[in-house]
Structure 1
Amino acid sequence: MTLTDQSTRIREGEELDPALIDPYLKARIPGLQGTPRISQFPGGASNLTYLIEYPQQEFVLRRPPFGHKTKSAHDMGREFRILNQLNAGFPYCPKAYVHCTDESVIGAEFYVMERVRGIILRADLPTGMSLDEQQARTLCHSFIDKLVELHSVDYEACGLADLGRPDGYVKRQVEGWCDRYEKAATPDAPGWEAVKTWLREKQPADHGKPAIIHNDYRFDNVILDPEGPLSIIGVLDWELTTLGDPLMDLGNTLAYWIQADDPAPVQLMRRQPSHLPGMLGRQAFADYYAERAGIDLPCIDFYYAYGLFRLAGIVQQIYYRYYHGQTQDKRFATFIQMNRLLERMSLNVIDQSRL
């Protein structure tokens, strides 16, 4: 079966010089020999991810994107710490080896972690992989179970009680994303005024006990066992992880979850095979999550609408860098259309909401 975490040629302007990184790693990781081969993973639109291949060992290097960086995002040291400490309670985090704060090495702070080899699902199943309806349902349940498991981790026992400020999390996120969206606005961006007003009016109190929340949990951030691809063996991309209301994390994941009966324009945004027969729809997804978490969740409208708005904020921040020439990555040229579509989706949720 094809492994879909395959690296490719490095995008123009995002090169990493082996002559700079090789001596740095050999001085800090015992036993490295030979000359590394460096390539880039194609996924992701925020932090840049590279594969470093030595003859006997493979690593993944993460660094911030070129160009505009928000104040709190792209904190390499924070992500490095999360990987090392959260593993004690959630053993799906890759092992992190090196954190470099000396920007003279590659021009930015970075960290290096182990490579977990496996299957990463993107928009469609990889070559050689097929799922019948029952298998897709099993995989979907496994995906949700891992999110529930993460939300039940004792973060104090992992030494992560200072990771975030969980009190008042819902309100702070709504206001924070309103502010971040406005700061990333470009002349061609939609205003989202009706949605922002609705989110401010309908926001609930924080739900239950705070939890470690991933904030970017989707299929292309989990690794499937190549020997048994219905099992998840790794979870990636911890840069946005914090402490807060787990239902807000659920809303973030639902925003990525394109189901089979979504209209054609929405299907064009799909980045994971959530449309396959057997995969749960968003409401059934939330119902299963609530059952496994042992909570009552009668309505997901606020959390889903929030997730869509937050996703639009992330999309707009990335588009801002492209609009102002801070990145040459052509993938980002269409992000303004995605932003507009997300606004229409949010307004549709509001129009049909029972809240």
Structure 2
Amino acid sequence: MLNAAADTMRAEIETVPQYWPRLAEYLAGLGMQLDLDTPPQQFAGGFANLNYLIRLDGQPAVLRRPPKGPLPAGAYDMAREFQILSRLWQKFPLAPRGLHLCEEARVIGAPFQIVEYRTGISLRDSLPAPLAGDARVGASLGTTLVDILIDLHRVDPASVGLETLGKPSGFLQRATEGWIKRASVAVDGWGTPTTLQLIIELAHWLRENCVPDASPTLLHNDFKLDNVLLDPTSLAPLAVLDWDQGTRGDGLFDLAVLLSYWTEPGDPAAMHQMAQMPTASAGFPTRQQVAERYAAALGRDLSTFRFHRVLAQMRTAVIFQQLHVRWRRGETRDSRYERFGEIGEGLLQFARSIARGDVF
């Protein structure tokens, strides 16, 4: 049996403070009681949204709010996430239930939501010592990840009242232009000449190779292992977290986002340095095997999948560039962000290799 890591919660000195008495007053006005005798604690891990364990009406719950500082357009959308979590649980039990949304920044300085608390362990770049090197564990986790995505994409949006979520028509073209724009903004004044040239090359390739949208499905839009809570004994999935980028669109893009974090043993350094998933460990399926399992289950054609892969890999690279800029501007003191510019550039180079057909 595995135990949650001791650093599940941030140390008090590293915790981003919130206006807890003001929150308690706001919730009391709605007939809810925030217990401040049990001080809220900030969860460790993650690079963006701020998450706190609170006690509300005698029960544990999670408060989520965006990070501080300027935010990229369309990112960290609490209202969109709450729309999903207040409904999706009915057909997709791994989605925690949304409990309350506040869109007024006056309460704690930003919109926030309160979400059902689920217990479990979260894994990122390595497997715990008892499991490391066990090929059976790698094979099981790899299959679990793709099967969760398959189950999500089988949900009819209309069956949970999400048939109007997002704008699926033109999704891939908008995503292409949106990530090209974000890339340009992220490196403006901060990027190296190599980074700038890579963005120009990838932007040209994506515009030349954009494919039509498939029938839309519900997308998580940032699905990877550390967004899944696992049972510490069986490693069965207990919850899927972080739905603030959720929408409707081409399911192959969701798959490509997962694979943009899926490191294989022979990948270049940047894929290993981003340290997102332990998929280079023994037993994990390859990216191609994952894609083929997904396609077989849902009857999807992978003939245009290279486009989705390039777009998703560039997206992940840009996210690392954006986080590096936050560090350069002094908006975060997290020392991990210092190397993200270099890693982002390496991920852009990997996206170019995908576009050239050198890797899957």
With normalisation by structure 2, the TM-score equals: 0.90
Post-superposition Cα deviations, 1:295-354, rounded to whole Å, max 9, x if no partner, equal 232463222211111112222222233223333333222211111111111122223359
Distance apart, 1:20 and its partner CA: 3.1
Residues of 2 paired with 1:111 and 1:286: CA distance? Answer: 34
Residue in 1 aligned with 2:216?
210
Unmatched runs of 5 consecutive residues or more in structure 2: none
Task: Find the counterpart in structure 1 of residue 337 from structure 2.
Answer: 332
> Would you say 1:291 and 2:296 are equivalent positions?
yes
Q: CA deviation at 1:72?
A: 1.7
Alignment of 1:141-290 (within 5 A): 141-189=143-191, 190-191=195-196, 192-207=199-214, 209-229=215-235, 231-290=236-295
In the TM superposition, what whole-angstrom CA distance separates every residue of 1:241-281 from its partner, at most 9, and x where no partner exists?
A: 11111111111111111122223443122212112211011
**How far is 1:131 from its partner?**
6.8
Report if aligned partners of 1:210, 1:243 keep a CA contact under 8 Å in 2.
yes
Q: Deviations over 1:136-162 (max 9, x none)?
A: 212211210110111111101211122
Q: Does 1:316 align with 2:316?
A: no
Task: Spell out the pairing of 1:3-152 with structure 2 (5 A cutoff).
Answer: 3-4=4-5, 6-10=8-12, 12=14, 14-28=16-30, 30=32, 35-53=37-55, 56-126=58-128, 128-129=130-131, 132-152=134-154
Say which is worse superposed, 211-220 or 332-341, in terms of deviation. 332-341
SS in 1 for 2:52: strand
Superposed displacement of residue 184, structure 1 = 2.6
Rounded to whole Å, the distance in 1 between the matches of 2:179 and 2:121 is 33
SS at match of 2:51: strand
TM-score by length of 1: 0.91
- The 3 A distance-change label for structure 1 pair 115 and 128 is farther
Structure ranking higher in helix proportion: 2
Cα distance in 2 for partners of 1:12, 1:133 equals: 36
Across the two proteins, how many residue pairs are aligned to each other? 353
Query: 1:178 offset after TM fit, Å?
Result: 0.9
Paired amino acid for 1:350: A
Of residues 179-188 and 195-204 in structure 1, the stretch that sits farther from structure 2 once superposed is 179-188
Change (3 A) 1:34 1:180: closer
SS of residue in 2 equivalent to 1:145: helix
Is the contact made by 1:199 and 1:306 (CA closer than 8 Å) also made in structure 2? yes
CA contact (8 A) 2:190 2:325 kept: no
Q: Comparing 324-333 with 158-167, which one deviates more in the overlay?
A: 324-333
Partner Cα distance (1:29, 1:36) in 2: 19
Sequence identity (%)? 35
Give the direction of change, closer, same or farther, for the CA distance of 1:10–1:99 in structure 2 (3 Å limit). farther
- SS at the partner of 1:309? helix
Q: Classify 1:39/1:13 alpha carbon distance in 2 versus 1 (closer, same or farther; 3 Å).
A: closer
Indicate the SS of the match to 1:228. coil
Per-residue deviation, residues 87-133 of structure 1 (Å, max 9, x unmatched): 12211111222212232221111111121001111111235555732
Give the Cα separation in 2 of the matches to 1:219 and 1:66. 25
Paired letter, 2:217: A
Residues 1:275 and 1:354: Cα distance change in structure 2 (over 3 Å): closer
Corresponding residue SS for 2:114: strand
Q: Is the 8 A contact 1:36 1:54 kept in 2?
A: no
